[in-house]
């Protein structure tokens, strides 16, 4: 009975698992790139699972989407052009376009089926898909960045799955080198950087690859994310020049609603745990 009514994502390496009680499976399919499932859960709304890993739920997606978007947007002095690599559920795109100063937001996800399923099962995340500033492209994000003109973007948000399968190439020096070239002088790349509790090896390796790609200045933000391993997640920003203080007054006076992010959360998310500080000393 337990197996029939619960979805569980096990993490054998850490001896942990996360489970949600489900009402029913709404959809499953094998796309060209990955295996997609949608569940209706008892307490977290709808749940998207990709290749057996939890990706997004109705109840807690705001934590991830807001923290992947607003800290970097309020750190850049005047962002206008944003690329989202991955992000097929469109929640990050929605948050980016809450900023009135954004002139162009391009979402590049290799798997169109993720977006089409989000439109059906997570329509609230797709609320800004028809914004005239938004462009959806279903192509290889690595190739997109490689072919981009130098200095053609202000912020690159790498909203990817774990560093396996289609996303593996998004965690290597060659990709970061292409990001470095495509970014404007004050540009920032930010990438989801896994759980600092369970995946420090991935986070360390990612920072090493960023440095090898040309980025010498990095800053990691920490935030809760219930459905991801350990419930504690991170995103790492990297820049060409030293990261300056974020635009705190603008964040405090933001003209749009959020559920989690505010100026105080931004400041708190930058606080570095002692074990993290020592790991990167």
CA neighbor of 222 nearest in space, from 206, 239, 212, 235: 235
What does the pLDDT read at residue 3? Answer: 52
Q: How far apart are CA 200 and CA 235, in angstroms?
A: 12
What's the number of domains the chain is made of?
A: 2
Query: Do the Cβ atoms of 171 and 209 come closer than 8 Å?
Result: yes
pLDDT at position 220 is 96
Residue with tokens 């986070």: 203
Where does residue 199 rank: exposed (0-12), middle (13-18), buried (19+ CB within 10 A)? buried
- Whether residues 74 and 16 share a domain: the answer is no
Q: What is the pLDDT of residue 1?
A: 34
Tell me: do 164 and 105 sit in the same domain.
Answer: yes
Phi, psi of 27 (to 5 degrees): -165, 150
CA distances to 10, 55, 60, 114, 234 from 28, rounded to whole Å, are 19, 14, 22, 11, 29
**Same domain (yes/no): 94, 26:** no
User: What is the pLDDT at residue 2?
Assistant: 43
In a shared domain, residues 42 and 70: no
- Per-position pLDDT tens, the chain of length 281: 345 699 999 989 899 999 999 999 999 999 999 999 999 999 999 999 999 999 999 999 999 999 999 999 999 999 999 999 999 999 999 999 999 999 999 999 999 999 999 999 999 999 999 999 999 999 999 999 999 999 999 999 999 866 656 656 777 999 999 999 999 999 999 999 999 999 999 999 999 999 999 999 999 999 999 999 999 999 999 999 888 889 999 999 999 999 999 999 999 999 999 999 888 87
Which of 124, 113, 149 lies closest to 59 in space, CA to CA? 124
**Same domain membership, residue 25 and residue 70:** no
Q: Are residues 190 and 161 in the same domain?
A: yes
Which residue in the list 130, 159, 174, 185 is annotated as catalytic?
A: 159
Phi, psi for residue 103 in degrees, rounded to 5: -100, -25
**Does 159 qualify as catalytic in the annotation?**
yes
Residue that finishes a domain, picked among 57, 81, 98: 57
Distance (Å, whole) CA 167 – CA 136: 18
**Cα 165 to the center of its chain, rounded Å:** 17
4's enclosing H/E stretch is: helix 2-5
Same domain for 114 and 82? yes
Residue where a domain terminates, one of 57, 76, 95: 57
Say if residue 159 is in the same domain as residue 260. Answer: yes
Asked whether residue 34 falls in the same domain as residue 65, the answer is no
Number of Cβ atoms within 10 Å of the Cβ of 30: 9
Range of the domain at 53: 2-57
CATH number at residue 30: 2.30.140.10
Assess whether 156 and 210 both reside in one domain: yes
Residue 228 shares a structural domain with residue 115: yes
Identify the CATH number of the domain in which residue 115 sits: 3.40.50.150
Is 155 exposed, middle or buried, given 0-12, 13-18 or 19+ CB atoms closer than 10 A? buried
Q: Are residues 92 and 142 in the same domain?
A: yes
b/e per residue 59-90 (b: at least 16 CB within 10 A): ebbbbbbbbbbbbbbbbbeebbbbbbbbbbbb
Among 57, 72, 94, the domain boundary falls at: 57
């Amino acid at each position: 009975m337990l197996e029939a009514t619960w979805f569980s994502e096990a993490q054998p390496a850490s001896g942990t698992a996360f489970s949600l009680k489900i009402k029913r499976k709404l959809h499953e399919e094998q796309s060209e790139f990955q295996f997609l499932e949608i569940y209706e859960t008892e307490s977290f709304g709808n749940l998207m699972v990709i290749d057996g890993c939890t990706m997004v739920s109705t109840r807690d997606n705001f934590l991830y989407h807001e923290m992947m978007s607003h800290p970097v947007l309020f750190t850049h002095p005047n962002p206008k052009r944003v690329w989202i690599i991955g992000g097929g559920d469109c929640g990050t795109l929605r948050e980016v376009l809450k900023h009135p100063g954004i002139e162009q937001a391009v979402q590049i996800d290799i798997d169109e089926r993720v977006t089409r399923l989000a439109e059906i099962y997570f329509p609230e995340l797709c609320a800004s898909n028809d914004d005239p500033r938004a462009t959806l492209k279903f192509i290889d994000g690595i190739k997109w960045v490689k072919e981009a003109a130098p200095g053609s973007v202000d912020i690159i948000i790498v909203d990817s799955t774990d560093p396996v399968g289609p996303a593996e190439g998004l965690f290597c020096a060659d990709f970061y080198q292409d990001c470095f070239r495509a970014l404007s002088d004050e540009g920032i790349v930010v990438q989801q950087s896994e759980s600092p509790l369970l995946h420090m090896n991935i986070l360390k390796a990612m920072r090493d690859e960023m440095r090898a790609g040309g980025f010498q200045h990095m800053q990691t933000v920490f935030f809760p994310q219930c459905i991801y391993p350990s419930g504690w997640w991170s995103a790492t920003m990297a820049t060409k020049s030293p990261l300056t203080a974020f635009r705190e007054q603008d964040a405090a006076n933001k003209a749009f609603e959020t559920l989690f992010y505010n100026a105080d959360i931004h400041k708190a998310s930058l606080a570095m745990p002692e074990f993290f500080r020592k790991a990167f000393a």
